[in-house]
Structure 1
């Protein structure tokens, strides 16, 4: 008679003993949320750093070129229609928006051909040179001021320190072409120029000085108007009546809200990427996540760049 022998049963687990990790196990479940948060934070940091470097180099220059083309088309249309601004307000009497095109600056000695926007905040100067809003427009009586970046976003004023005395350049506005002759340049500590005749015109071009992307001072190039002075309509802002963000080497504190919102969106996208990696798989998740993280990283870094000095 055959005897059936059953296999020995596995011993019952002792109380308090841990079950070994099985397939797909690894870290205890309680540790996974912490790892996901750490991974998301690293993704955010990497996206912001890469976006920051791109904004100040390739992407920033591409943005500058695109914005310049759009502004040039708009200014050219306004000049043809006779609606280009000649003061601080447009043809409908509304204050000019920040970044609105107001002039076309041509400096043959430096190969500069740039549309000038209204205002000198860091955001405006990402698109090109900016006109300081508490000064007259070029071609009018008084001292007009135009600021431009030294290194980032097209670096339109990168060679301003090489502009020689007696060099000539022009600025086209809604009142026609204004011609200027350079009279000198100055840095911190240099003597101020002789006070300008209020009935004559002068223009000061301003940019930063110092090593790449680390501005340490301000360079001012003065020029006198050699063409006829144009009428000056009343301006809404008197000299000195501008916000701190429009002064030389100042950042735009109003960008903090944008930085906060873009950072939150980037962190949420990184968490979703970590979750998708567990559900879909490694490659599937990151093929979808990388473009989103890159776009949000660029947007976040662009907002952070607005906090930096406007002449950088």
Structure 2
């Protein structure tokens, strides 16, 4: 006996997804976006930081350095003018209280009309001091006193005060104002490496020697000296002489600047880590608005400390 099976329902269209249009296939969920690959992120951040440091270093030697020099000249002139009016300006290696005149203290005003130079001269000749202007070599007498007074100045960086020193010719006048009044000199000649030294001074005579670098843009490779003889009677001078640190000799860098360089570098690394953390937790624009001024200030401070390692006459 044949068994009759019940009729099967006809196949209809597949049921549609409740959240998709009629007849469309269900949407495939998108894969989660992966984070940045550290193999490229870390080197990229390091190169960006290095580029910022090099840019800040170049800016500090040029634009920012000239601004810093102009500010130091103005503040130094105001201080020296007050000391000249009060009669407390230095006239030797020690002040009126018998203490050594500190490095960076203004001691004179140098005026050379032939090259349009008027600069405040500071005590000391380290690279850091010469960022403010010309510096007086501490183991030589002050201008106007018997003996050879030596003043060092930069050729290109930080105001370029001695950039045109090679244009001076014999007979050009030089005036230096110190705590003992105006001292007048006349240029006698220029010297480079290998040239003959000037004749020795006799008792009571005075000489001024201006020293700067020779070479191209920010590439010193020698020393230029301009000698000038004192016109008139020399002023009384306290005992001078002694040795100066190697960092204050011509074309020397200040190795003591390594400590502030390392400290500023650590501060920059901490700030970089903080900005990176804030970028992930806070947001792009909020992080840059708050972090960029901090990073810029640290880069400028670090580059300024690093320039003290370079030759002081550059």
Runs of 4+ in 1 over 2 A off after TM superposition: 34-44
Task: Please show how residues 200-211 of structure 1 align to structure 2 within 5 Å.
Answer: 200-211=205-216
Mapping of residues 1-312 of structure 1, within 5 Å: 22-23=32-33, 25-27=34-36, 32=38, 37-235=42-240, 237-238=241-242, 241-312=243-314
Contact 1:40–1:270 (CA<8 Å) still a contact in 2? Answer: no
Number of matched pairs? 290
Partner-residue secondary structure (3-state), 2:120: strand
In structure 2, list runs of 5 or more residues that go unmatched: 1-14, 18-29
Using the TM superposition, give the Cα deviation of residue 43 of structure 1 relative to its aligned residue in structure 2, in angstroms.
4.1
Distance 2:287 2:88 in 1: 52
SS at match of 1:215: strand
* 1:16 equivalent in structure 2: none
Structure 1 residue 198: Cα displacement: 3.7
Structure with the greater alpha carbon radius of gyration? 2
Task: Say what the alpha-carbon RMSD is for the aligned residues.
Answer: 2.0
With CA pairs under 8 Å and 6+ residues apart, which has the higher RCO, 1 or 2?
A: 1
What does residue 12 of structure 2 align with?
none
Q: TM-score, normalised by structure 2?
A: 0.88
Deviation at 1:280, TM superposition (A): 1.7
TM-score calculated relative to the size of structure 1? 0.88
More moved, 180-189 vs 36-45 = 36-45
Secondary structure of the corresponding residue to residue 269 of structure 2: helix
Deviates more, 1:98-107 or 1:43-52: 43-52
